[in-house]
Amino acid sequence: MSTESPIKPFLENDGFTPLSEAEVLLCVDLDKNDNRFEEKQWAELKKAVETMASEGNAYIQKHMSLDTPIIDTYGRISPEVYPKAGNSFSSASVKVDRAYVYDREIDFMYQSAMQERFSRKNGMSKQYRAIKTNDAESISDHYYRTYGATTRDEMLDAWRKERSQGLAEGWEMYATALFHKAFGKDFLIVRASSFDDIANGIDTVIFDKKTGNIVCAFDELHDAGQTTVQIERAQKKRNFITEKNSEGGSTLKYGFKKADDKLVPASIRNVPILRLSVDTELLKHFMYTFNADAPVSEEECVFIMKLLGDLIHEAEQMERIIVAKEDEYTERRNRAVGKMEKLRAQKGWKNNPKIMQEIRELEREKNITSLPIDGSPIKNHIRAALNAFHHMYDQYDMSDKINEL
């Protein structure tokens, strides 16, 4: 590292590589230079998100008897407010989660910069690789020369600002602003906390204002390209979401629920995650023509119909997968119960170590295959989401014009 820069890079070891899960959960957009907003249009989108945050905070504060805003100016839920809103969340727990986010973002910052440097130098597709000490020093020096960053925190601030103006981050902000503009009267649409984004794979959350129940969580994706790496990464993301839902959904640690006609801070389990995917060029068109102050245009109505149609299809497909999984688990559980009954019908089975071991294994199989079946909360949440989507669809039914997009 140059003697001009006093930065001490954060490394766990010389062969440091971010968790493979992190790439799947956060799906970092590495093509920042190609996908950055024009400054003016990004400011327009930021203004819309700030309006959404202001109106969302007014609703939450009214129903939660809370003075402090709980949604930040980027539309994200702020965990720091939760200890003030109820006894379910301690300051110590929030501090631990904040440290987790900080460490992961440091990981992403180094890895993202490394991919830019490596791919530009070698003319290769971006892919994850180990970061050596000299790489980290070069990256730190780059942040110093480019942004004047002299500490790791200043480097991270520069990376966050750069990322916030990328297409991936902008898509999250735009989806939140657009859905709020169209459906904010009946639904609370917010971006999940950074912790839930990274740890639980949740980008955006929709709550039903009438019931206080969560409708679903979105994971916004766009077709960034068709390179082998990009296709593999998108497939990993799809597989992760399908597996997560079939195992009972995700957990939103920082959410809300209704109690005694008031909102209270709460962690919510069995949250279905649905992919909100769109073609990149179509997305750019709508994002670059977005007007924060104007009502929903006819063209935006058609776009909303397309998104809702895709969400309905996604939810129906997810429900079929979960039902099939339940059928499979039911068959496995019944088979395990049947085998145990036969073993216990044998004379002296309690004194036979081999039979007892087999029964213990069958008991484990029975317990594992019983968990997703009893109550099926994820399936009930998906059906509630479908009802909400159909309700939204009926408000802006311009499905006959979807093919014009």
Calculate the alpha carbon distances from 106 to 140, 154, 156, 234 in Å: 12, 11, 7, 23
Same domain, residue pair 277 and 327? no
Same domain, residue pair 394 and 365? yes
Q: Which residues contact 198 (CB under 8 A, 6 or more apart)?
A: 22, 25, 26, 100, 101, 104, 105
pLDDT at 108: 85
Same domain, residue pair 289 and 318? no
Same domain, residue pair 278 and 344? no
Angle ∠(250,307,265) on CA atoms, nearest 5 = 35
Same domain, residue pair 198 and 64? yes
pLDDT at 169: 83
Do residues 341 and 363 touch, judged by C-beta distance below 8 A? no
Same domain, residue pair 320 and 271? no
Same domain, residue pair 185 and 157? yes
Residue with tokens 């899960």: 21
Comparing C-alpha atoms, which of 275, 300, 296 is closest to residue 285? Answer: 300
Structure tokens at 49: 């998100």
Same domain, residue pair 280 and 335? no
The DSSP letter of residue 308 is H
Backbone angles phi, psi at 278, to 5 degrees: -150, 155
Give the chain's length: 405
d(CA 369, CA 104): 34
| 320 lies in some domain | yes
Same domain, residue pair 321 and 175? no
Reduced to 3 states (helix: H, G, I; strand: E, B; else coil), residue 254 is strand
d(CA 395, CA 256): 26
| 7 lies in some domain | no
Same domain, residue pair 70 and 146? yes
Angle ∠(243,247,248) on CA atoms, nearest 5 = 125
Angle ∠(175,263,266) on CA atoms, nearest 5 = 80
Same domain, residue pair 269 and 352? no
Do residues 167 and 222 touch, judged by C-beta distance below 8 A? yes
The number of folded domains in the chain is 2
Where residue 262 falls (left for φ over 0; alpha for ψ -120 to 50; beta otherwise) is beta
pLDDT tens for the chain, 405 residues long, are 333 332 333 333 333 333 333 333 333 333 334 444 567 777 888 899 999 999 999 998 888 877 789 999 999 999 998 988 766 789 999 999 999 999 999 888 887 777 665 544 444 444 445 556 666 777 888 788 888 888 889 988 888 887 877 778 888 889 999 999 999 999 999 999 999 999 998 999 999 998 888 888 988 777 655 566 667 777 787 888 888 888 888 999 999 888 887 888 899 998 999 988 888 888 888 888 888 889 888 889 889 999 999 999 999 998 888 888 888 888 999 999 999 999 999 999 999 999 999 999 999 999 888 755 544 788 888 988 999 999 888 886 655 554 555
Of 268, 295, 322, the last residue of a domain is 295
Of 230, 260, 295, the last residue of a domain is 295
Same domain, residue pair 321 and 224? no
Angle ∠(42,43,46) on CA atoms, nearest 5 = 85
| 306 lies in some domain | no
| 207 lies in some domain | yes
| 309 lies in some domain | no
pLDDT at 37: 53
d(CA 378, CA 380): 5
| 200 lies in some domain | yes
| 195 lies in some domain | yes
Question: 392-395: long-range contacts at Cβ-Cβ below 8 A with a sequence spacing of 24 or more?
Answer: 392/182, 392/183, 392/187, 392/304, 392/308, 393/305, 393/308, 393/309, 393/312, 395/182, 395/183
Of 295, 323, 352, the last residue of a domain is 295
| 147 lies in some domain | yes
Q: Which domain, by its residues, includes 350? A: 314-404
